[in-house]
Copies of this chain bind each other. A is one copy, B any other.
Amino acid sequence: MPEVSEQEYSHQRLQQVNDALDSGMFVYVRKLLQDMPAYDLALLLESSPTKSRVALWQLIDADHHGDVLEELNEEVRKGILKNINPAKLAAVAEGMDVDDLAEVFRTLPDSVYQEVLNAMDGQDRSRVEAALSFEEDTAGGIMNTDTISIRPDVTVDVVLRYLRLRGELPEATDSFYVVDRADHFIGAVSLSAIVTAKAETIISSLIDKDIEAINADMNETDVAKLFERYDWFSAPVIDHEGRLLGRITIDDVVDIIREEAEHSMMSMAGLDDEADTFAPVLKSTQRRSIWLGVNLITALMAVAVSSMFEGILNQLAILAVLNSLVPSMGGVAGNQTLTLVIRGMALGHIGESNSRILLYKELAIGFFNGLIWAILIASVVAIWQQNLMLGAIIAFAMLMNMTAAGIAGVTVPLMLKKMNIDPALAGSVILTTVTDVVGIFAFLGTATLMLG
């Protein structure tokens, strides 16, 4: 049997489902979908054109709807939620975890929101309201409330007997939380400590000092950092008075890490990281046009700078031919520095204490790279055009612009961060403006002085 990668396998199945859907074999599609895990069903919906999504959704077993909603990309989820009637959604919501429920409710259109809430029973409604009482990107917003709490003064034997009585544990339970009578968090005891301890051991002696409680209003980025720092699999969440509210498990943290890493890459191209790959044409056109508009301003600034030198351009068409070279190389060099800095800031490498060292380093790299390419290009141009002066002019402009690119690549993202503007989103536009303007000024300006 030839080895097939996970991804190819997924796509063969996707093809199978789509073919069956196109030929109207709905019973067969329903059967195919029945055996797929929620993650794959979500992937299938995300990989399908918008118009097939509602049809597919209706063929998915209703018992899986909750799990699939949870896995879906936000934008795709919104599209599907628009097409479900409130009563059905209320039924779906019953089986969902609190954290996922809150996420779904946050993406619900306002008009439907109240209707769904009304269709739910009292207990579910209060679950939703509790979950929505925390900000979206905080520990409280991503936690689950299915914790098992125990008293500090009981023995291991009592706990084991309780667990046997209780039956199944909540998913991904690797520890229990020790609380006092008022539900104040005292510490965590790992499941593995309980199974390896003697029956008569008192729980309080098994508390794992390495597990700290997280405040419900801690930002999710910080939560992810703590998980990575301490290699946690789960962590308790408490309120301001230290009362246990719930727990966060590492699978939620995986989502945060993926989203953050994706966010930088997508933002740098002016895209939303929740963007639907198969979003409708008009919607995408509209969204992308904003970014293109911002870039047009940059491009027009370059044009404006060039137009200041129309005199020399009129005299020497070769300057017009070469005019794009210096800004282009500066843009690429600056973008390298910018990307490195944005990643460094995300990983926590860069702060007040070392930004100066970084600036000197990137300035030096810009200067040396400028020197290399200045000499190379000057030689090419001097030989091609039989014009030593032209070579010298372009070399000088290149050196100036590459050095400016190094400086801007470090200072632009640092300044944006201080101003609370996302450097991944705004950084590259500002950087390109700098390298375009400096590049054209240095090239055409020097040319005007020397050749004009």
Known: A320-B319, A348-B43. A354 touches B192 (CB 8 A): no
In the complex, how many angstroms separate the beta carbon of A150 from the nearest chain B beta carbon? Answer: 13
What 8 A-B pairs come out closest when comparing CB atoms?
Answer: A261-B261, A320-B320, A11-B351, A269-B339, A6-B222, A265-B265, A39-B229, A15-B353
Count A-side interface residues using an 8 Å CB cutoff.
Answer: 127
* Cross-chain contact A195 with B169 (CB below 8 angstroms): yes
Contact of A222 (CB < 8 Å), options: B7, B163, B192, B250: B7
Measured between beta carbons, the chain B residues less than 8 angstroms from A226 are 6
* Cross-chain contact B332 with A295 (CB below 8 angstroms): yes
* Cross-chain contact A228 with B254 (CB below 8 angstroms): yes
Known: A250-B250, A321-B313. A343 touches B288 (CB 8 A): no
How far does the alpha carbon of A8 sit from the alpha carbon of B418 in the complex, in Å? 13
Interface stretch among A54-62, A85-93, A300-308?
Answer: A300-308
* Cross-chain contact B349 with A277 (CB below 8 angstroms): yes
Measured between beta carbons, the chain B residues less than 8 angstroms from A349 are 43, 46-47, 277-278
Instruction: Tell me, yes or no, whether A401 is within 8 Å of chain B by CB.
Output: no
* Interface CB pairs A-B, < 8 A, 11: A6-B221, A6-B226, A11-B352, A14-B354, A40-B229, A43-B349, A195-B195, A250-B251, A254-B254, A269-B338, A277-B347
Measured between beta carbons, the chain B residues less than 8 angstroms from A228 are 39, 254
Specify how many copies of this chain sit in the oligomer.
Answer: 2
Within 10-30 of A, Cβ neighbours of B (below 8 Å) are at 10-11, 14-15, 18
Instruction: Tell me, yes or no, whether A35 is within 8 Å of chain B by CB.
Output: no
Known: A271-B339, A271-B340. A329 touches B296 (CB 8 A): yes
* Cross-chain contact B195 with A194 (CB below 8 angstroms): yes
Instruction: Tell me, yes or no, whether A336 is within 8 Å of chain B by CB.
Output: yes
Known: A166-B196, A257-B257, A373-B296. A333 touches B225 (CB 8 A): no
* Cross-chain contact B336 with A47 (CB below 8 angstroms): no
How far does the alpha carbon of A347 sit from the alpha carbon of B7 in the complex, in Å? 9
Can you name 12 extra interface pairs (CB under 8 A) apart from A14-B353, A261-B265, A299-B325?
A47-B351, A164-B197, A269-B338, A269-B340, A271-B339, A277-B343, A278-B358, A281-B361, A289-B369, A310-B320, A313-B313, A319-B320
Known: A169-B195, A195-B195. A336 touches B163 (CB 8 A): no
Contact of A278 (CB < 8 Å), options: B169, B229, B258, B354: B354
Most chain B CB atoms below 10 A, which of A8, A195, A228? A195
How far does the alpha carbon of A144 sit from the alpha carbon of B372 in the complex, in Å? 47
Most chain B CB atoms below 10 A, which of A48, A163, A353, A358? A353
Measured between beta carbons, the chain B residues less than 8 angstroms from A339 are 265-266, 268-269, 271
Instruction: Tell me, yes or no, whether A219 is within 8 Å of chain B by CB.
Output: yes
Known: A169-B196, A365-B281. A292 touches B329 (CB 8 A): yes
Measured between beta carbons, the chain B residues less than 8 angstroms from A198 are 164
* Cross-chain contact B291 with A332 (CB below 8 angstroms): yes
| Closest B residue to A19 using CB positions | B353
* Chain A 33-51 interface 0/1 with B at a Cβ cutoff of 8 Å (1 = within): 0000101100100111100
